[in-house]
Amino acid sequence: MFVGHFAAGLAAKAAEPKAPLFLYIAASQFMDWGWSGLVLAGVEHFRMAPTLPGSPLDLYDMPWTHSLPGALAWSVAGGAIAKYLFKVPTRAAAFVGAAVFSHWGLDLLVHRPDLEVWPGGPRLGFGLWNHPVPEMIVEMGLLAFAALFWSAQRTREGRSTWTAGLFLSGLVLVQYISVALPKDGPPQGMALSALATYLIVTALAWLLDRKPASL
């Protein structure tokens, strides 16, 4: 699961529009922002295993970001940042927190068993990554559905809907690049490019959700 996570951000925006889209988009990948940062800092670890079917990521050590208590802590932190730093209403902040936690739920679906129930405890993961074509269909399907909900919400607000098509095209491009990129570099390089991708997508969400200045 890569760009599919953003589906949760779009769906949350459609369900509770009182937080900005970029916050929801950042929230849906907040755990991976942390993961990229901690991989770069040498705290969490992964390796490339090109012999694995589907995604070559062997995510053998990520207790701080992808264990169940880790995910819950990131979700609470995400909700608190939304409420106290970005001053969004409490209900919207709760949706931001839920968008953060959605990351763990979607990872559970696709990851091979690498999500610890508690640090050092049993590992969960239904392994859809081992079946790349159905995995891609699920990921893109979720995105398409969520984009429809987001478009409907924008229509209700009397705003244009071409943004959904543009955002979706951007995400498909990101997904294509991430699949096509060579996978033989150091893990830190991959963590850095993931972090850059999340920043770019968040900036794109901010740009597309901006209200016209004259209003």
Cα–Cα distance measured from residue 53 to residue 130, given in angstroms and rounded to the nearest whole number: 5
Least separation in angstroms between CB 92 and Zn ion? 23
Tokens of 188: 């830190």
Q: Closest CB to Zn ion belongs to which residue?
A: 32
Least separation in angstroms between CB 156 and Zn ion? 32
Q: Which is nearer to Zn ion, 69 or 148 (CB)?
A: 69
Q: Which is nearer to Zn ion, 16 or 32 (CB)?
A: 32
Q: Which is nearer to Zn ion, 32 or 139 (CB)?
A: 32
Q: Which is nearer to Zn ion, 16 or 107 (CB)?
A: 107
Could you say which residues in the range 46-105 bind Zn ion, by CB under 5 A? none
Q: Which stretch binds Zn ion (CB under 5 A): 13-21, 26-34, 90-98, 153-161?
A: 26-34
Least separation in angstroms between CB 115 and Zn ion? 9
Q: Are 96 and 27 in contact (CB under 8 A)?
A: yes
Q: Are 144 and 6 in contact (CB under 8 A)?
A: no
Q: Which is nearer to Zn ion, 21 or 108 (CB)?
A: 108
Q: Which is nearer to Zn ion, 74 or 95 (CB)?
A: 74
From the number of C-beta atoms within 10 Å of its C-beta (0-12, 13-18, 19+), residue 180 rates as: exposed
Least separation in angstroms between CB 150 and Zn ion? 22
Least separation in angstroms between CB 103 and Zn ion? 6
Question: What is the number of other CB atoms lying within 10 angstroms of the CB of residue 199?
Answer: 13
Tokens of 99: 């968008």
Tell me the number of residues near Zn ion by CB under 5 A: 2
Give SS3 for 101: helix
Distances (CA, A) of 113 to 103, 163, 179: 15, 36, 22
Rounded to 5 degrees, φ, ψ at 48 are -90, 135
Half-sphere exposure of 32 (CA within 13 A, CB side): 28
Whose structure tokens read 């705003």? 159
Least separation in angstroms between CB 185 and Zn ion? 19
Could you say which residues in the range 106-145 bind Zn ion, by CB under 5 A? 107
Establish if 32 lies at the interface with Zn ion (CB under 5 A): yes
Binding site for Zn ion (CB under 5 A): 32, 107
